[in-house]
Amino acid sequence: MDAPSVAQVDSKALGDLGAWFAAGYFEEPEAGPMRRWSRAVRRRFEHRKLAPYEGGWLYPTGSIPREDAPASRIVEPSYSFTWTFNQEALRAAVATAAPEQVDVLQSLGQVMSDLLQRTVVWSSPHTVGGCGYTHSIPNYGRVLREGLDAHGRRIAVGLDAAQDAGDGAKTTFYLGLLDVLEGIRAWHRRILDMLCARQPATAADLEARDLLLRALRQVPFGPARSFYEAVVAYNFTFYLDDCDNPGRLDRELAPYYERDLDVGTLTRERALTLLRTFTDNVAANDAWSAAIGGSYSDGSPAYNEVTRLCLEAVHQRHRPSYELGVRKDMPDALWSVALDAVATGCGQPAFYNENAYVDGLREAELGLSEADVVLWNGGGCTETMIHGCSNVGSLDAGIHLPLILEATLRQHLPTVPTFEALLQRFMTDVDGVIYEIISGVNRLQAARAALTPQPMRSLLIDDCIERGVDFNAGGARYNWSVVNVAGLANVVDSLAAVREVVFEKQEQSGDSLASALACNFDSMEPLRQRLRRCPRFGNDHREVDMLAAGIAEHVFRGFRGYKAWRGGRFLPACIMFTTYAAEGSRIGATPDGRRAGKPLADSIGPVAGRDHHGPTAMLRSVTRLPLQLALGTPVLNIRFGKALFASKDGRRAVRDLIMTYFELGGMQIQLSVVDREVLEAAIREPEQHEDLIVRVGGFSAYFNSLSPALKQAIVDRTEHVF
């Protein structure tokens, strides 16, 4: 029996089942993907479930509610992939469906399975936490300044020009965006109706509800006229994009704050309350990154009072992942507020070398203007992109260096004559994998451009409307791709051990070491301990560090030499968020004495617990790497005990350490402030530590949410003291 065609899937029946997103996609089976996915977005917003209004000055609030209809979960929207297909939800819906509904559900499943196969055109063991992800950041400021009605006017201008020119592709693009806007208007009307119908219990509730209603009657379709309306519009747009990245909060909101404060219509306390509520919304959705501080395009510092309010609002909250752009002239008062936030144990903010990022982006041949380069913002964990006008694959893929080394050693270690020859074999194998990754990512990008446009992001991110080109097809102003480099320190420690034990001191033959690795050091504990005594990355050991620098530069430049299908270049990153335990489980024993299945190194830093010579030595090792070539962000985690933050001297030491790191060339550093004893107690009694937050990769997470292996890896991190 032939597979059903798109035209055979009954859109009305899907709507009757509550699967409105899927129903919209099948409404016009002869239309192209942009029109069809735009209609899916429209129908979803027309029928989107509304969370109850619990009072307060913002709405929506809390996590995005899931639809009640089981069939709605078969095909759901995704900000990274446009849509997701859930086979388990399909089976569950079929099991409970009426007989006349089974055929439509099965036809839906077959068509979406076929589309998924046509979209996912590449798979690889080298994903390392990402395969075609597309975190991004809407142009919140444009919505605040102009309102979505202005977006509609720009769409109308583009549509008229496309129709006059007989350009069918652009005509379809603009008609799709008009559908998206209609869906947003419908959702907005439903929110207003729900708020009007609610009967507040107290006078304070009534005042808050009425203020919110007045604001929502102005924004997001009209321009914000006050700080309050700006925050309401910002919050609304955040939920439109399904709660991904908040972006440059302080820069977008500061003009409204300063104006209202000057005229006396706003107090600092009220502004802080609003930002705390928005922070809670970001945290409730496990959403992502917001860069603050840094520089303006004229080179002046971009710190303002909203920067400080953002840091105060994030105390004891794990999101958003604040990225504080640090300059030498960052005010002492802001240092104090930032370290106050870190001391609460929330891991916020992470500290970023502003000058290094701006200079590195200028030099990376990305075509950035001076106005835009200072709008860098990590997306997702912290993959470098530009606020409001970029499409960055984040993460588009990864490269699992220990997996490559494992294959190189298996094939060549028993026979290779010199260490230099072994290293060259490894580098050649790395080059082959890099080429495979680039080719695969480019196939994925081409398939997504053809089959899965991103209508909401095409609406909200510059310059898609002006170009008449979808976000996934290269419509954003800037397009590049971030690829994650995993296990660098494991490879360096392993090769350093092979160099010393096999080639320099000839204590083992290559064949005998290969045999030991194959049997996971079974009955060979003395050899494993000997390997563990070899020099390690992270201890200011120059010879090891230079080996690390050579490997890193080869890998980083290897990626940066290629261009992505969608535009721009490939930018390496080292961001092992929650993946370094799982990725370690995929490989056997390694020559650094690591047993099979144990975690990899965390991001750009040393293997957990191997840096024994203090924080300065560790930072010197890391800054011998060519970090500016890894602009996707080379994440460095460091852990301190809480006692360090109890004194002015301790805080000053932390500040000096961060600035020393940046002066040496460091790019990013993030702090976990928690004692080892607390972490060990949290493993024993998780119910007593439900609010414990730790910094993982490029973001903060609740300790209890992590896997047992990852928890232990965090316990094993060196706790640095001065």
At residue 173's C-alpha, the angle toward residues 239 and 455, to 5°, is 20
Cα–Cα distance, 47 to 455 (Å, whole number): 18
Angle (nearest 5°) at CA 222 between 221 and 227: 110
Look at the block and give the residue holding tokens 């350009």. 167
> What is the reported pLDDT for 288?
95
Q: Does pLDDT of 683 surpass 50?
A: yes
C-alpha to C-alpha distance for 238 and 281, rounded to whole angstroms: 9
Position with higher pLDDT, 665 vs 610:
665
So what's the pLDDT on residue 345?
83
Angstrom CA distances, 219 to 150, 373, 533, stand at: 12, 29, 63
Residue 62's contacts (CB-CB under 8 Å, 6 or more residues apart) are: 51, 281, 284
Alpha-carbon distance of 56 to 594, in angstroms, equals 53
- Per-residue b or e along 126-150, where b marks 16 or more CB atoms closer than 10 Å to that residue's CB: bbbbbbbbbbbbbbbbbbbbbbbee
Question: pLDDT, tens digit, for every residue of 510-540?
Answer: 999 999 999 999 999 999 999 999 999 999 9
pLDDT value at 7 more than 80: no
Looking at residue 523, its amino acid is S
- Does residue 262 fall inside a structural domain? no
Please count the structural domains in the chain: 1
In the chain, what percentage of residues exceed pLDDT 70? 97
| Percentage of residues in the chain having pLDDT higher than 90 | 83
Residue 164 burial (10 A CB sphere; 0-12, 13-18, 19+): exposed
Does residue 73 carry a pLDDT above 50? Answer: yes
Alpha carbon distances (Å) from 678 to 64, 319, 633, 694, 704: 33, 21, 29, 11, 12
| Cβ–Cβ < 8 Å for 248, 375 | yes
Each residue of 553-599: pLDDT tens digit?
A: 999 999 999 999 999 999 999 998 777 788 889 999 999 999 999 99
Q: Distance between CA atoms of 568 and 565, rounded to whole angstroms? A: 8
Cis peptide before 220 (omega within 30 of 0): yes
In tens, the pLDDT along 401-454 reads 999 999 999 999 999 999 999 999 999 999 999 999 999 999 999 999 999 999
Q: d(Cα 188, Cα 206) in Å, to the nearest integer? A: 20
pLDDT per position as a tens digit, 48-63: 999 999 999 999 999 9
Give a yes or no: residue 46 inside a domain: yes
Give residue 540's region: left, alpha or beta (phi > 0; psi -120 to 50): left
CA distance 420 to 632: 30
What pLDDT shows up at residue 4?
A: 62
CB 609 within 8 A of CB 536: no
Question: pLDDT for 294-343, tens place per residue?
Answer: 999 999 999 999 999 999 999 988 899 999 999 999 999 999 999 999 99
Q: Does residue 609 contact residue 594 with C-beta atoms inside 8 Å?
A: no
> Residue 218: what pLDDT?
98
Is residue 182 situated within a structural domain? no
Rounded to whole angstroms, the Cα distance separating 715 from 474 reads: 43
CA angle, residues 147, 148, 151, in degrees to nearest 5 = 110
Question: Would you say residue 82 lies in a domain?
Answer: yes
Task: State whether residue 175 is helix, strand or coil.
Answer: helix
Our CA angle for 385, 391, 397, nearest 5°, is 85
pLDDT of the residue at 2: 54
What would the mean pLDDT of 667-675 be, rounded to a whole number?
88
Among the ranges given (13-22, 364-373, 631-640, 678-687), the one the predictor scored with the smallest mean pLDDT: 678-687
Task: Find the mean pLDDT for residues 243-258.
Answer: 97
The better pLDDT of the pair 479, 704 is held by 479
Mean residue pLDDT across the chain: 93
Paired strand residues for 633: 573
Name which residue leads in pLDDT, 380 or 580.
380
**In contact, 694 and 566? CB cutoff 8 Å:** no
pLDDT tens per residue across span 347-366: 899 999 999 999 999 999 99
Buried b (16+ CB within 10 A) or exposed e, 409-427: beebbeebeebeebbebbb
- Chain CA centroid to CA 694, Å: 17
Within a domain: residue 504? no
Q: Which two tokens stand for residue 639?
A: 């852990």
Torsion, Cα 616 621 624 628, to 10 degrees, reads: -80
Bridge partners of 701, per DSSP, are 694
Per-residue pLDDT tens over the stretch 267-297: 999 999 999 999 999 999 999 999 999 999 9
Record the pTM: 0.94
What is the amino acid identity at position 140? Answer: Y
Question: What's the CA gap between 91 and 74, in Å, rounded?
Answer: 9
Range list of β-strands (E), 558-692: 570-574, 633-634, 637-640, 668-673
d(Cα 584, Cα 595) in Å, to the nearest integer?
10
Residue 560 forms part of a structural domain: no
| Residue 720 clears pLDDT 70, i.e. is over it | no
Q: Residue 399 belongs to what H/E stretch?
A: strand 390-400
Instruction: Give the separation between CA 653 and CA 647, rounded to whole angstroms.
Output: 10
Predicted local confidence at residue 1, as pLDDT: 42
Domain that holds residue 95: 6-119
pLDDT tens for 166-191 read 999 999 999 999 999 999 999 999 99
- 390-405 pLDDT tens trace: 999 988 999 999 999 9
- What was the pLDDT predicted at 722? 61
Averaged over 495-508, what is the pLDDT? 97
Q: Rounded to whole angstroms, how far apart are CA atoms 652 and 475?
A: 46
pLDDT at 698: 67
User: Quick check: 719 pLDDT over 80?
Assistant: no
| Largest separation between any pair of C-alpha atoms in the chain | 84
Report helix, strand or coil for 704: helix
Compute the distance between CA of residue 328 and CA of residue 659 in angstroms, rounded to an integer: 8
